[in-house]
């Protein structure tokens, strides 16, 4: 078999990547080790995933996901009171509680419809780099084996990281979080006032979550640090899980008229980042590149957005080899930035729980609290500054703003373009609210106000709403690209 791209793993990342590349006319195959439909953990889809999949044409715009909907989250964090936080005021924005066996099969079927071949259940056995790409030996569960030649190899094998391990790539890790998960079935006449919304509750040893699923089932999980749990965890997981559940208040209430199926599964759940996520003929995508703490419920969304970016990177490298360097740099930078922002947001979130600061799980996480608090202080000061802007306010380009050439995603390819860089915006900004920042900066020599700037930008680059330009100016002041005169 001769391919343009071989994708290892058919989770959300592998399927969306295969779909995009097959849709662009590349010869793509996916090797998946398990038979679908197959169980995996991670049921909560944050709002926005469905529309993301529709925009990427992985889901047809006329089809809606047929899973229980959610309207927000419940949490008892920092106090024993339960707070409900809605996704939107009128509950118009929805997330979903999916059955991953079904959801992942939908995504894989969509990749096949776009033209990707699926080899399943099948495993890569050996990978050999060659001058024009890779030779990969595969073996089906049936025992049949074969060899595939591919110009480009993508590792979407989740946390098992088949290729990353073969390439001996280093992994950065933030903590040792693991999840002990279990499923419950509620009595048929139980109607939960929470719907299927996820409930998260902190306890001295970590935190606990539960969420409703279809057919009155509930997923639950106890999250704690592996080194703070017994060394022989596999033999006492049920007891550890039950003890943790017994320490909850709200989760226990939700499970009062429910029966546990008696199983506990253990998953690694710590945020991680592989130090090098792409080369000239390979890349890592989804959890294979980086993982997030499940408290964010962002793993699937991140896997999908990472696959969309990866598809542009692969396309750029295969069709415009002279842009390989910028494409790799773009992807590496994107994964690192996503990870850094995630770790920063975790520090802020965990520091809000101060009741058990003397407990090892919380003490460790409090070590980031000072920097998180400093950052919050910075951003509230910036927000105060931008809220005082009005149409008469005049702006200039800040003294420390530099225009540099950086790889950016432009239409369906990656290329070097000018971006505005400051200390707070070290990655560089090309677009802000669809306004081209370097173009905007080129119109600011005499310190114009928003109205003048709007007039000039429209003449130079096309229509933009004045309200949009006001927001952009405020954001650029926030990140230090513009200063008020
Ligand atoms: C306790 C816990 C709770 C979570 N809850 C949520 C949640 O509520 N919401 C959310 O968005 N995320 C959640 N996540 C994270 C989420 O599950 C992952 O981020 C997401 O599944 C990543 O998708 P992926 O496609 O990168 O990898 P995966 O979904 O792991 O897919 C990898 C695929 O590769 C296959 N594979 C593995 N090895 C090989 C091999 N050698 N050869 C071929 N195929 C192989 C696997 O069979 C699998 O199909 C949770 C994670 C944990 C641990």
* 287-305: pLDDT as tens digits: 999 999 999 999 999 999 9
Q: Are 272 and 151 in contact (CB under 8 A)?
A: no
Give the integer Cα–Cα distance in Å for 360 and 366.
Answer: 10
Would you say residue 375 has pLDDT above 70? Answer: no
Average pLDDT, the chain: 92
> Band of the pLDDT at 13, cuts 50, 70, 90?
very high
Q: Given ligand 1 and candidates 15, 42, 244, which is best to mutate, with the most ligand atoms within 8 Å of its CB?
A: 42
Q: What is the pLDDT of residue 385?
A: 55
Q: Which of 17-31, 52-66, 211-225 has the lowest mean pLDDT?
A: 52-66
**pLDDT on residue 380:** 53
Lowest-confidence region among 279-293, 361-375, 418-432, 435-449: 361-375
Closest approach atom of ligand 1 to CA 15? 25
Q: What are φ and ψ of residue 117, in 5° steps?
A: -90, 145
* Beta carbons of 206 and 223 less than 8 angstroms apart: yes
Least confident residue range of 149-153, 218-222, 452-456? 452-456
For ligand 1, the distance from its centroid to the CA atom of residue 286, given in whole angstroms, is 8
Residue 379 has pLDDT above 70, yes or no: no
Q: Is 120 a residue whose pLDDT tops 80?
A: yes
Structural domains of the chain ordered from first start: 2-43+99-173+273-343 (3.50.50.60), 389-484 (3.90.930)
Position 372 scores a pLDDT of 52
pLDDT bucket at 189, cuts 50 / 70 / 90: confident
What is the rounded CA–CA span in Å between residue 186 and residue 168?
A: 45
User: Which uninterrupted H or E stretch holds 153?
Assistant: strand 145-155
SS3 label, residue 225: strand
- The answer to whether the CB of 197 is under 6 A from ligand 1 is no
Q: Is the pLDDT of residue 371 over 80?
A: no
CA-closest candidate to residue 393, choices 477, 479, 465: 477
> In percent, how much of the chain has pLDDT > 70?
95
Cβ atoms 97, 50 nearer than 8 A: no
Residue 85 Cα to ligand 1 middle (Å) = 26
- Measured over all CA atoms, what is the biggest interatomic distance in the chain, rounded to whole angstroms? 74
Given a cut of 90, is residue 388 above it in pLDDT? no
| Residues forming beta bridges with residue 5, ordered by sequence position | 28, 152
Q: Residue 456 pLDDT > 80, yes or no? A: yes
Ligand 1, atom 35: closest residue by C-alpha? 9
95 lines ligand 1 (CB under 6 A): no
- Asked whether the predicted pLDDT for residue 404 surpasses 80, the reply is yes
82-96 burial string, b = 16+ CB within 10 Å, else e? beeeebeeeeebbbb
Q: Find the 397 Cα to ligand 1 centroid distance in Å.
A: 44
Local confidence band at 127 (pLDDT 50, 70, 90 cut-offs): very high
Q: Phi/psi class of residue 353: alpha, beta or left (left: φ > 0; alpha: ψ in -120 to 50)?
A: beta
Mean pLDDT of 469-483: 92
User: What's the gap in Å between 294 CA and the centre of ligand 1?
Assistant: 11
Mean pLDDT of 77-86: 95
182 close to ligand 1 (CB < 6 Angstrom): no
Place of tokens 């709007």: 454
Phi, psi (rounded to 5 degrees) for 233: -55, -40
Q: How many CB atoms lie within 10 A of CB 51?
A: 12
Mean per-residue pLDDT for 303-321? Answer: 96
Give the tens place of pLDDT for each residue, 175-185: 999 999 999 99
Strand partners, 140: 122
Tokens of 425: 């915006």
* CA–centroid distance for 380 within its chain: 25
Quick one: pLDDT at residue 24? 96
In the DSSP assignment, the letter for residue 321 is: G
Q: Is 13 in the pocket of ligand 1 (CB under 6 A)?
A: yes
pLDDT for position 61: 86
| Ligand 1 touching residue 12 (CB < 6 A) | yes
> Which residues lie closer than 8 Å to 455 by C-beta, 6 or more apart?
none
Q: Which of 6, 7, 10, 11 to mutate to test the pocket of ligand 1 (most atoms within 8 A of CB)?
A: 11
Q: In whole angstroms, how large is the CA radius of gyration of the chain?
A: 24
Q: What percent of the chain has pLDDT over 90?
A: 83
Which residue from 73, 139, 158 has its CB within 8 A of the most atoms of ligand 1, so it is best to mutate?
Answer: 158
Three-class secondary structure of residue 431 per DSSP: strand
If one residue of 287, 291, 298 were mutated to test the ligand 1 pocket, choosing by the most ligand atoms within 8 A of its CB, it would be 287
| Whole-number pLDDT of residue 370 | 59
C-alpha to C-alpha distance for 413 and 210, rounded to whole angstroms: 41
Predicted confidence at residue 237, as pLDDT, reads 97
Average of per-residue pLDDT across 393-410: 93
Mean pLDDT of 198-227: 97
Please answer whether residues 18 and 7 qualify as being in contact, where contact means their C-beta atoms are separated by less than 8 angstroms.
yes
pLDDT of residue 194: 87
Does the beta carbon of 162 sit less than 6 angstroms from any atom of ligand 1?
A: yes
- Output phi, psi for 208, to 5 deg: -130, 145
pLDDT at 384: 53
């Amino acid at each position: 078999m001769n391919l343009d791209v071989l994708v290892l793993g058919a989770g959300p990342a592998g399927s969306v990547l295969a779909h995009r590349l097959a849709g662009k006319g590349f010869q793509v195959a996916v090797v998946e080790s398990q038979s679908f439909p197959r169980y995996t953990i991670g049921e909560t889809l944050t709002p926005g995933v469905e529309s993301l999949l529709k925009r990427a044409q992985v889901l047809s715009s006329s089809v809606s996901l047929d899973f229980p909907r959610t309207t927000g989250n419940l949490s008892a964090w920092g106090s024993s009171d339960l707070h409900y936080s809605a996704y939107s005021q009128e509950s118009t924005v929805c997330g979903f509680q999916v059955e991953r066996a079904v959801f992942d099969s939908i995504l894989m079927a969509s990749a096949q419809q776009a033209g990707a071949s699926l080899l399943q259940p099948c495993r890569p056995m050996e990978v050999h780099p060659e001058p024009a790409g890779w030779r990969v030996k595969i073996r089906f569960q049936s025992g049949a084996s074969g060899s595939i030649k591919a110009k480009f190899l993508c590792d979407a094998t989740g946390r098992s990281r088949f290729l990353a391990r073969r390439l001996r790539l280093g992994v950065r890790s933030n903590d040792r979080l693991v999840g002990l998960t279990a499923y419950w079935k509620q009595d048929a006449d139980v109607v939960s006032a929470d719907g299927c919304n996820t409930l998260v509750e902190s306890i001295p040893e970590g935190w606990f979550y539960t969420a409703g699923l279809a057919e009155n089932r509930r997923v639950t999980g106890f999250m704690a640090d592996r080194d703070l749990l017994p060394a022989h965890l596999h033999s006492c997981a049920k007891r550890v899980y039950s003890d943790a559940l017994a320490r909850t208040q709200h989760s226990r209430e939700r499970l009062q008229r429910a029966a546990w199926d008696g199983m506990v599964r253990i998953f690694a759940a710590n945020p991680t980042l592989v130090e090098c996520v792409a080369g000239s003929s390979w890349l890592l995508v989804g959890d294979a590149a980086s993982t997030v703490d499940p408290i964010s419920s962002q793993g699937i969304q991140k896997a999908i957005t990472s696959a969309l970016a990866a598809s542009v990177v692969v396309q750029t490298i295969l069709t415009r080899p002279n842009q390989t360097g910028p494409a790799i740099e773009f992807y590496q930078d994107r994964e690192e930035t996503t990870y850094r922002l995630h770790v920063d947001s975790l520090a802020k979130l965990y520091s809000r729980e101060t009741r058990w600061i003397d407990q090892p799980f919380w003490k460790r996480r409090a070590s980031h609290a000072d920097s998180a608090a400093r950052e919050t202080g910075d951003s509230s000061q910036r927000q105060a500054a931008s809220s005082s802007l009005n149409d008469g306010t005049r702006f200039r380009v800040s003294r420390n703003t530099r225009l540099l050439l950086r790889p950016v995603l432009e239409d369906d390819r990656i290329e070097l373009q000018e971006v505005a860089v400051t200390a707070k915006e070290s990655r560089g900004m090309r677009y802000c609210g669809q306004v081209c920042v370097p173009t905007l900066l080129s119109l600011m020599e005499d310190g114009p106000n928003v109205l003048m700037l709007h007039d000039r930008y429209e003449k130079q680059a096309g229509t933009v709403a004045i309200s949009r330009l006001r927001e952009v100016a405020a954001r650029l002041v926030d990140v230090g690209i513009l200063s008020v005169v």
